[in-house]
Amino acid sequence: MDRPRAPLTARPPAEISTRAVAWLAAGPVAMLAVFVAAPLVAVFSQGLAGGLAAVLVDPVTWRVLGYTAAQAAASTVLALLAGLPAAYVVSRLAFPGRQVLVVALVVPFVLPTVVVGLAFRALLPGLAGTTAAVLLAHVFFNIGVVVRVVGGLWGHLDPRAGRVAATLGARPWQAFRAVTWPLLRPAVAAAAALVFVFTFTSFGVVLVVGDPAQPTLEVEIYRRAIQLFDLPGAAALGLLQLVAIAAALAVAARLQRRLGTVQPLRPDAMSRPRVRHDRALVALVAAEALLVLAPLAALAVRSLRVGGGWGLEWYRLLWNPQGGTTRDVALADSLRVSVTYAVVATVLALVLGGSAACAIAYARRGGDALDTAVALPLGVSAVTLGLGLLLVSVSGPVDIRGAWIAVPLGQALVATPLVVRTVLPVLRAVDPRLREVAATLGAGPWRAWAAVDGAQLSRAAAVAAGLACAVSLGEFGATAFLARADSPTVPVLLVRLLGRPGEANAGQAAALAMVLVLLTAAVVLATERWRAPGTGAL
């Protein structure tokens, strides 16, 4: 989440005219209109016109909706229970290995959902096909969200406030309840809202580890649209989905307004764990991190286990066209497809997100409206977006089905809000006086902008690129609707392999999933070092 804008930093560079801002905004606005707004309108109109009445009287709809909401609520509570101690430990305590712990807790968020599903199947084969597996996987993904959102604020609360409370007679627990908790509540509410929306719209995980007899809304939309080709029914469910998320976000926004107080922000000293219960907490969170890593370790083991022994056989077979029974291309070909799509999607997302962020930061008016508009795809589920693009293609003027660009385009739409969220805080944090200093040292307006904002922007863009690339590599919701059958991405192929029996298929799926994990982690870790301190991605 952004930190509140300081008054000083609200000043846009004088040389960036309103016209330039309009040009910057034009690209993102046009793309949003054609590829987000139009598909959503299609979901709305076809949902209303077609199946809504039938869907509303169908008891299955309400069972699916109820299950979706219940598992999201349970996932949110569990993620908060696991994430709040972790947020405290990594934001308030200094100890050896803290940075490693942060990475272990935060990186899962960008890992491909399908891969994580497979990893949980490898770790707990007995749990596959149960709600418990879904909840565990959701906690795995969202501890990092809680750590980033709540820890981001917690790290900036002045630790001396708690010390003052102690000298006034507050026990540690009372000091937390009376002082820390009220200040933290808005961030906890924000984190809860995010986790609820993410888990309400979770798709890949539920498809891979969930109970086939208990679909969530996402899975049901996918099933109707792709397997039954019941587009009106899928659109009606998509409409319900949009309404449910809008309601959840409205409740969250109201809650946050009610809870919002002045935050004493102060990047301050961390304390070493000094007392016993803090050490216990560090140990608890380290155990959490190990649990987070356990499914990935199980996946690695699965990919190296060949027959009774160990080996790289499954990895070798990935590159072998004869490795399977009915395939004429190597499984590794999906890696080429995934990487190509991800690179194109990253470039698209950077251009769209970067220009949107500049327009928002420098706009004299309308910046907030644009900010909300570009965040829209975050609130819309990828599945609904994919469905909308499909509907537009079926009935509208632009048919992107089968077009090569459809998949990277869908992925870029999902990644663009993340790019904006990464770049915008950095741009807003630039002290305008630095440009003035540069000007007094003889730099012309554009030189001054390039030297001051440009330098910050390129660092933020590197981080955003890593994030967009990782998200695109693992994207499954929109991709599942748009990918061509003859050139699947890795996640799409993994889901297909899941339906095939035999040790060879399972082994190769694990190997392929591991390659994708390593690729994603490498991209994120390689770009993470450009992140300026204190600028979260969420």
Partner 1 sequence: MSAVTPRGPGLAPAAGLAVEGVRVVYEGRAVLDDLALRVGPREVVGLLGPSGSGKTTLLEVIAGVFAADAGRVSWDGADLAATPAHRRGFGLVFQDALLFPHLDVGRNIAFGLRMARIPRAEQDTRVAELLALVELPGFERRSVATLSGGEAQRVALARALAPRPRLLLLDEPFSGLDRDLRVRLAADVRALLHRVGTPAILVTHDEEEARAVADRVVRLADLQPGPPQGPPSGPAAHDPV
Interatomic CA distance for residues 167 and 180, integer angstroms: 15
**Closest approach of partner 1 to the CB of residue 349, in Å:** 25
- If one asks whether residue 533 binds partner 1 (CB under 8 A), the answer comes out as yes
Contact at 8 Å (CB) between 241 and 160? no
Single out the segment in contact with partner 1 by CB under 8 A; choices: 68-76, 97-105, 200-208, 340-348.
97-105
**Closest approach of partner 1 to the CB of residue 162, in Å:** 8
**Closest approach of partner 1 to the CB of residue 319, in Å:** 40
Number of residues binding to partner 1, judged by CB under 8 A: 47
**Closest approach of partner 1 to the CB of residue 88, in Å:** 11
* Closer to partner 1 by Cβ: residue 281 or 390: 281
* Closer to partner 1 by Cβ: residue 99 or 322: 99
3-state percent helix, strand, coil for the chain, nearest multiple of 5:
75, 0, 20
- If one asks whether residue 447 binds partner 1 (CB under 8 A), the answer comes out as no
Which phi and psi angles does 507 have, rounded to 5°? -65, -45
Which phi and psi angles does 93 have, rounded to 5°? -115, 140
**Closest approach of partner 1 to the CB of residue 90, in Å:** 5
**Closest approach of partner 1 to the CB of residue 107, in Å:** 13
Tokens for 135? 């909840």
**Closest approach of partner 1 to the CB of residue 87, in Å:** 8
**Closest approach of partner 1 to the CB of residue 89, in Å:** 10
* Closer to partner 1 by Cβ: residue 268 or 436: 268
Site for partner 1 in 268-287 (CB under 8 A): 268-272, 274-275
**Closest approach of partner 1 to the CB of residue 518, in Å:** 25
* Closer to partner 1 by Cβ: residue 156 or 401: 156
Single out the segment in contact with partner 1 by CB under 8 A; choices: 66-74, 265-273, 363-371, 516-524.
265-273
Contact at 8 Å (CB) between 169 and 79? no
- If one asks whether residue 102 binds partner 1 (CB under 8 A), the answer comes out as yes
**Closest approach of partner 1 to the CB of residue 386, in Å:** 33
Site for partner 1 in 473-512 (CB under 8 A): none
- If one asks whether residue 261 binds partner 1 (CB under 8 A), the answer comes out as yes
Site for partner 1 in 132-191 (CB under 8 A): 147-148, 151-152, 155-156, 158, 160-161, 163-172, 174-175, 178-179, 182-183
* Closer to partner 1 by Cβ: residue 106 or 391: 106
Interatomic CA distance for residues 122 and 112, integer angstroms: 15
Which one-letter DSSP state was computed for residue 50? Answer: T
* Closer to partner 1 by Cβ: residue 94 or 403: 94
- Pick from 486, 482, 484, 420: nearest CA to 457: 420
Contact at 8 Å (CB) between 127 and 136? yes
Q: What Cα–Cα distance (Å) separates residue 45 from each residue in 241, 245, 384, 391, 392?
A: 14, 18, 14, 10, 11
Write the DSSP assignment of 460-506 as a string of letters: HHHHHHHHHHHHHHH--HHHHHH--TTS--HHHHHHHHHTS-SHHHH
**Closest approach of partner 1 to the CB of residue 440, in Å:** 29
Tokens for 4? 């509140």
Interatomic CA distance for residues 349 and 351, integer angstroms: 6
- Pick from 331, 288, 314, 321: nearest CA to 487: 331
- Among 59, 96, 267, 442, indicate the residue that binds partner 1 (CB under 8 A): 267
Interatomic CA distance for residues 197 and 72, integer angstroms: 8
- If one asks whether residue 325 binds partner 1 (CB under 8 A), the answer comes out as no
* Closer to partner 1 by Cβ: residue 183 or 304: 183
Single out the segment in contact with partner 1 by CB under 8 A; choices: 73-81, 262-270, 289-297, 454-462.
262-270
Strands 305-306 and 309-310: antiparallel
Contact at 8 Å (CB) between 414 and 506? no
Site for partner 1 in 281-320 (CB under 8 A): none
CA angle 481, 483, 486 (to 5 degrees): 135
Write the DSSP assignment of 412-423 as a string of letters: HHHHHHHHHHHH
* Closer to partner 1 by Cβ: residue 270 or 330: 270
Q: Report which residue type is found at 44.
A: F
* Closer to partner 1 by Cβ: residue 289 or 510: 289
* Closer to partner 1 by Cβ: residue 97 or 311: 97
* Closer to partner 1 by Cβ: residue 22 or 275: 275
Contact at 8 Å (CB) between 52 and 46? no
**Closest approach of partner 1 to the CB of residue 194, in Å:** 16
Interatomic CA distance for residues 386 and 27, integer angstroms: 21
Binding mask 65-94 for partner 1 (x = CB under 8 A): ----------------------x--xx--x
Element of type H or E holding 305? strand 305-306
The contacts of residue 166 (CB under 8 Å, 6+ apart) are 172, 175
Q: Which residues bind partner 1 (CB under 8 A)?
A: 87, 90-91, 94, 98-99, 102, 147-148, 151-152, 155-156, 158, 160-161, 163-172, 174-175, 178-179, 182-183, 261-264, 267-272, 274-275, 533-534, 536
